[in-house]
C-alpha cells in the first residue's frame, strides 16, 4: 500500500521516527510531498 499526501514538512519531521510507517520525503517545495508506505506487520 502506498499513500501520497501533501503535508507541511517542518511540523511533521520531528514525529517521523515514532510513526509505524516508512516516510519518503521530497523537499522540492515548502509543502513537501510525503509518500507513506505502511510496513508489513
What CA–CA distance (Å, rounded) separates 5 from 3? 6
Q: What pLDDT does residue 34 have?
A: 62
pLDDT at 3: 58
Reduced DSSP (H G I as helix, E B as strand, rest coil) percent helix, strand, coil of the chain, to 5: 25, 40, 35
Inter-residue contact 38 to 1 (CB < 8 Å): yes
Question: What's this model's pTM, rounded to 2 decimal places?
Answer: 0.21
Count of the separate structural domains present in the chain: 1
* Predicted pLDDT of residue 2: 57
**pLDDT score, position 10:** 52
Q: List the one residue out of 40, 8, 41, 1 whose CA is nearest residue 25.
A: 8
For residue 23, what are the domain limits? 2-38
pLDDT per position in the chain (41 positions), as tens?
555 555 555 555 555 555 555 556 565 655 556 666 665 55
Q: Are 26 and 10 in contact (CB under 8 A)?
A: no
Amino acid at each position: 500500500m502506498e499513500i501520497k499526501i501533501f503535508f507541511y514538512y517542518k511540523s511533521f519531521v520531528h514525529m517521523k521516527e515514532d510513526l509505524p510507517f516508512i516516510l519518503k520525503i521530497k523537499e522540492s517545495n515548502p509543502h513537501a510531498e510525503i509518500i507513506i508506505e505502511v510496513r508489513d506487520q
